[in-house]
Structure 1
Amino acid sequence: MVYYINIGSNLGNRLMNLTRAVSAIEKKFGWFELSHHIESEPWGFDSKNRFLNVGMAFISEMQPMEVLAALQEIEASINTEKHRNPDGSYKDRVLDIDIMDVEGVSMDTPELTIPHPHLNDRPFFLEPYNELKNLINNNSL
């Protein structure tokens, strides 16, 4: 299955945070494609810190919930703080990894919805996602 994820950071050395995440994901899953980086305003909360995002695609035979758990472990190893306030609202974060879509999978659980419910609402999701889809379709995977 082809997984499409988004990696974002708006604290610290954002590019280094993304690079560390990409490296850890490559080590776990192997082959990958990357989109260009995109800078964006925070979505869902106010902050003076802009996000740097990158889309990533990789192939895995693992089930989506297993991939989610692996990505959450990677996220926690780089970002030791939760990315939500106690009231559930978003806050600044060193790293945030979201599964945007999984080729051939549709699911809706409390932990994971595929495709991501905000895929079409967030330009910092949609632009890298479309770029990755085009790259992969042109490579005939």
Structure 2
Amino acid sequence: MSSADIHTAYLSLGSNLGDRHATMCRAIDLLGREVGTVDRQSAMLETEPWGFQSANKFLNMCVRVLTPLSPQQLLAATQGIERELGRMSKSVDGHYHDRPIDIDILMYDDLHINTPELTLPHPLMKERDFVMIPLREIYG
């Protein structure tokens, strides 16, 4: 595979249920096995829930992945990892809830995509310090 076949994707990871640290580490391991090379990762940041009320704080971080997958394949792979780590449902229409893991694709190369399944760059990332602080740590 040539370097032209490798894409750069930035992902946001969050967890506020169970052993958050272990879940985040397991997600990074699975991303490395199923998606591509995780070549940068931010520190984990503990944050309050965004968009809903919960007593459970989040751990959040960002990773950069070098991947041969298309954006749609990457979305399917990250959703599969979420299911493997215990996430049963995605947030719908802005109704957020506690979750063992959340993996969002923030950016994929310089692509701009707007489909019902995937919007890139992520439309809400700039509103979320829990995304932007760790993203700035690894971006570039």
Whether the TM-score (by the shorter chain) exceeds 0.5 is: yes
2:25 to 19, 22, 39: 19
Partner of 1:127: 133
Q: How many corresponding residue pairs?
A: 133
How far has the Cα of 1:110 moved from its partner?
1.0
Partners of 1:92 and 1:48 lie apart in 2 by: 9
TM-score by length of 1: 0.88
Q: Residue type matched to 2:40 in 1?
A: E
Q: Residue type matched to 2:118 in 1?
A: L
How far has the Cα of 1:32 moved from its partner?
2.1
Aligned-residue Cα RMSD (Å) equals 1.5
Partner of 1:45: 52
Partners of 2:68 and 2:32 lie apart in 1 by: 15
How far has the Cα of 1:74 moved from its partner?
0.7
Q: Residue type matched to 1:38 in 2?
A: L
Partner of 2:65: 58
Q: 1:2–1:53: structure 2 CA closer, same or farther, 3 Å change rule?
A: same
1:110 to 104, 112, 116: 116
3-state SS of paired residue (2:81): helix
3-state SS of paired residue (2:135): helix
3-state SS of paired residue (1:120): helix
Partner of 1:76: 83
Partners of 1:75 and 1:121 lie apart in 2 by: 23
1:2 matched to 2:8: yes
How far has the Cα of 1:81 moved from its partner?
2.1
Partners of 1:115 and 1:71 lie apart in 2 by: 16
Partners of 1:17 and 1:84 lie apart in 2 by: 19
Q: Residue type matched to 1:37 in 2?
A: M
Q: Residue type matched to 1:2 in 2?
A: T
Q: Is the 8 A contact 2:9 2:66 kept in 1?
A: yes
How far has the Cα of 1:122 moved from its partner?
0.3
Q: Is the 8 A contact 2:42 2:134 kept in 1?
A: yes
